[in-house]
Amino acid sequence: MNSKLSAVAEAGAADDAPPWWHQWRVWRDQLLGSARFHRFAAAFPLTRPIARRRARGLFDLMAGFVYSQVLMACVQMRLFDILAEGPQSLQALCRRLDLAEPQALRLLSAAVALDLVERRGAAYGLGSLGAVMVGNTALVAMIEHHASLYRDLADPVSLLRGERPPTELGSYWAYADNAAAGELGAQRVADYSALMAASQPLIADQVLDAYPIGRHRCLLDVGGGEGVFLCAAARRAPSLRLMLLDLPAVAERARSRFAAAGIADRAEAIGGDFLNRPLPTGADVASLVRVMFDHHDDNAMRILRAVRAALPADGTLLVAEPMAGTKGAEPMGDAYFGFYLMAMGSGRSRTPQRLSEMLQAAGFGAIRQVPTRIPLQTGLLVARCTSV
């Protein structure tokens, strides 16, 4: 065995796989790194489709930023809304987009290649992905928000090494890893609260379609933002009492939303800091919707223990957020959210297994993962209180 194979076998000794499996992986890696093998694989009929698919996959990783900027340009110029009116000629689109013909054609050709737009004879119409964008305010808001993320990731190595100055995302999400979050004023919470409110309806529907919230009498939404999730729960369960806890300035925004929705008589918004003060009691079910992954493990455990202390002995907790290791959406957890949360300066994407371990440590049991219709958007864990 050569030294490289020996080193890999030693590194994999703690793995359950047998030594020959690690040795095979080294041989495979050496083969895939061979220019001679690349030429053979691209020419041989049985391996040619695989070689092309992997070449396309690697190129898409390299070009992903450019693709996202094409999407950003389409969103900022309202191209999808324009095409929703019906197919448009190139000349008409030049006028509507305020672009010269060569530049309009460049944008449209790129959008066609990405299935955002499609050619319809001499005109252009919505593509299969572009059609999804029409009226999708949540997705539009997130796409526009990503301009800050792209700037923060301009030098990823420096960010990984902690050599970057404070990031835009760290400033935007003002509560993240902020011991004085409870003192944030209305202006500091306005932008991120509005973004969360815009993106919340899709998540709320996923959770409420998967779990019958109407079986409970009172729901406490911890870190509930402007109250979008509770408004959705109120529509599903007309007799359900509702409580929301968030920072004082955010809770004030929730009160306005509850009043506008006509549920102020059964929905209460409480201002407070769930990391430093006990949670309100009286609910038999609590929800953490996209809250846990904003926090590192120590703070996440503080949140779980605070929720457990606020619930009765037969209480239930719903944990809803995008989860690492989601089948079919693996890059979402560790790649996208891993780097997004690093730029934000707080939080961690966790697998259902890791979340379950934390729930058990905080005094919850009977933990089960409930399928949602679009797991990429959110996963859902349901846990019951145990003796503490």
DSSP string, 94-153: HHHHT--HHHHHHHHHHHHHTTSEEEETTEEEE-HHHHHHTT-HHHHHHHHHHHHHHHHT
Structure tokens at 200: 């919340």
Structure tokens at 89: 């000629």
Over residues 118-155, the pLDDT tens digits come to: 999 999 999 999 999 998 888 899 999 999 999 999 99
pTM score of the predicted model: 0.81
| Type of residue numbered 175 | Y
Mean pLDDT within 287-314: 95
Mean pLDDT within 41-63: 73
What does the pLDDT read at residue 361?
A: 97
Q: At what angle do helices 137-152 and 186-210 cross, to 10 degrees?
A: 120
Nearest C-alpha neighbor of 374 from the set 332, 337, 340: 332
Sequence-distant (6+) residues with CB within 8 A of 370 are 210, 211, 380, 381, 382
Over residues 85-115, the pLDDT tens digits come to: 999 999 999 999 999 999 999 999 999 999 9
Nearest C-alpha neighbor of 301 from the set 362, 351, 345: 362
Token pair 């609260």 is found at: 193
What does the pLDDT read at residue 388?
A: 55
Mean pLDDT within 267-273: 95
Over residues 234-258, the pLDDT tens digits come to: 999 999 999 999 999 999 999 999 9
